[in-house]
Amino acid sequence: MIPSLDLIPGVLAGRQRDVARLITRAEAGDDECRPAMTALYQHTGKAHIIGITGVPGSGKSTLVKALATAARQMGRRIGIVAIDPSSPFSGGAIMGDRIRMNDLSGDPGVFIRSMATRGSLGGLCRAALDAVDVLDAAGYDLIIIETVGVGQDEVEVVRASHTTLVVSAPGLGDDIQAIKAGILEIADIHVVSKCDKPDAQRTIGDLKTMLMLDMPRDPNWMPPVVGTSAESGKGIDELLKTIQTHHNYLHQSGRIQDRLRMIAESRILKTAEELVRRRFVRHQAGHFIAQVAQRQLSPYQAAQQLLGE
Amino acid sequence: MSSPIRVLIAKVGLDGHDRGVKVVARILRDAGMDVIYTGLHRSSEDVVNAAIQEDVDVIGVSMLSGAHMTHFPRILNLLKEKDAADIIVIGGGVIPDADAATLKNMGVADLFLQDTPPDTIVNSVRTLVEARGKR
């Protein structure tokens, strides 16, 4: 086994095998790779990180492909982390995001990595953010995180990315209302996919109306609504331009600092959470579990003892 | 923490039959593995590139088209060329016994023909990955 620290020169040179291997180790959370990830962190922070979320079937993977293809033509190097759910019972996962991204395969300027949620709290696993670090250090300058379908998870993506895209598909009017409280609020840019469909203009209209009533997260950035059709290619260049406009806005206004701090905070918490979780497993928490189940300890007392408080 | 075995499941070439391969993907998922399915009509190059980026332990190729004597050797060669020969290649589908023996000699680690029980596939994948060891 090659020590993780020895993979770093390869990662920095963009060697795909080394990039892939380090992501695997970081995902597993092996202690062995921690010094390497720490060393690598100094080489990150150059990429523009885009989070893409939306309901299942809204066309996220297809949009990612179209965006990546267009951005490649502008000479960007694209990293993609595509997340799919793990089975809560077996822990296994079937990941199919690559099916819609196959045209990108073989282009050395595109690196696609599929990742399972592994039942992590918040869905956007710590490992996804570690993967983003590895890709960033390897010189991929536009990194796209594609989340699993809708749920509590999607709000997490906002604490991982500089620019968040929320994808809505036409013909889901009721669903839009239903998810309004959570997911629509986090968008920096709204995308209405499948704009070749007749309902699309109505969905765009609904979103714009809703946005007029909403208090934007940032009073100086009114989230634009962009209609796209991955099939005809309509709107993809406009979306790419809008993403760049948002990037420029963040840097010119200084708001990027808020985002970076928010991401940093979220990552510290997620990592701490995982460390505690592992300590729980290592401590053979069996006797705590039995005592709490039999009402001899409260959950709070057990947690305190576990943390050595 | 040990991580799940990662398997890339692929259909290569002009072969539109993917019911079986989806069943196999599901079997491996239910055995707790991370399964990446790349869809229909991929080239050998696509499969090897994807396998490297995904850092899988195993590539499983389903072949029902009769082109197995073309695609399996190509995949094995590409893996060698790209310094990725530690990725285990297995396969399944409609493959005559004589060809199966030849493919195994070339380096295909295991082949599952018709009527293979699901457990056999799961056990084979686990045994092969364990025998290869940590990398």
Closest residue by Cα to residue B125 from B30, B64, B60, B44? B60
Amino acid identity for residue A223 in this structure: P
User: What are the pLDDT digits (tens) for A253-268?
Assistant: 999 999 999 999 988 9
Residue B1 has pLDDT above 50, yes or no: no
Q: Mutate which of A98, A118, A134, A280 to disrupt the B interface (most B C-beta within 10 Å)?
A: A98
Q: Please give the Cα distance from A85 to A178 (Å, whole number).
A: 22
Output the average pLDDT for chain B. Answer: 93
Q: Are A179 and A206 in contact (CB under 8 A)?
A: no
Q: Which of residues 85-124 of B touch A (CB under 8 A)?
A: none
Q: Do B3 and A28 touch (CB under 8 A)?
A: yes
Q: Is the pLDDT of residue B2 over 90?
A: no
How many structural domains comprise chain B?
A: 1
Question: Which chain A residues are closer than 8 Å to B46 by Cβ?
Answer: 102, 105-106
Residue A99, min C-alpha distance to chain B (Å) = 5
Question: Which chain B residues are closer than 8 Å to A92 by Cβ?
Answer: 4, 28-35
Count of residues making up chain B = 135
User: Rounded mean pLDDT of chain A?
Assistant: 87
**What DSSP assignment string belongs to A155-213?**
HHGGGT-SEEEEEE-TT-HHHHHHHTTTGGGG-SEEEE--TTSTTHHHHHHHHHHHHHH
* Domain membership flag for residue B135: no
A92 closest CB neighbour out of B1, B4, B45? B4
Task: Give the number of C-alpha atoms closer than 13 A to the C-alpha of residue B71, restricted to the C-beta side.
Answer: 29
Contact B32 A112 (CB under 8 A): no
Q: What is the C-alpha to C-alpha distance for residues B118 and B112, in angstroms, rounded to an integer?
A: 10
One-letter amino acid for residue A205 of the chain? G
Burial class (CB in 10 A: 0-12, 13-18, 19+), A188: buried
Per-domain boundaries in chain A: 1-43, 45-253, 266-306
Q: Which residues in B lie closer than 8 A to residue A102 (C-beta atoms)?
A: 38-39, 42, 46
| A45-253 under CATH 1.10.3720.10, yes or no | no
Domain at B67, CATH number: 3.40.50.280
Q: What is the pLDDT of residues A28-84, one digit of tens each?
A: 888 899 999 999 999 999 999 999 988 888 888 999 999 999 999 999 999 999 988
Domain boundaries, position B36: 6-130
A106·B28 Cβ contact <8 A: no
Residue B18 pLDDT exceeds 80: yes
Would residue B1 count as lying in a domain?
no
What residues contact residue A88 under an 8 Å CB cut-off, 6+ apart? A119
The DSSP letter of residue A179 is H
Strands A142-146 and A189-192: unpaired
Specify the amino acid at residue B87.
Answer: I
For tokens 């189940």, the residue is A293
Give how far B97 is from chain A: nearest CA, Å: 30
Question: Which residues of chain B does A94 touch, with a Cβ-Cβ cutoff of 8 Å?
Answer: 25-26, 29, 35, 37
Q: What is the pLDDT of residues A86-145, one digit of tens each?
A: 887 787 888 888 888 877 877 889 999 999 887 665 556 788 999 999 999 999 999 999
Nearest C-alpha of chain A: how many angstroms from B131?
A: 14
How many angstroms from the chain centroid is the CA of residue A25?
Answer: 19
Between the alpha carbon of residue A172 and those of residues A38, A143, A169, A196, B115, the distances in Å are: 44, 28, 6, 15, 43
Residue with tokens 């590895």, as numbered in its chain? A134
Residues of A with CB under 8 A from a CB of B: 1-2, 16-17, 19-21, 23-24, 27-30, 87, 90-96, 98-100, 102, 105-106, 111-114, 116, 278
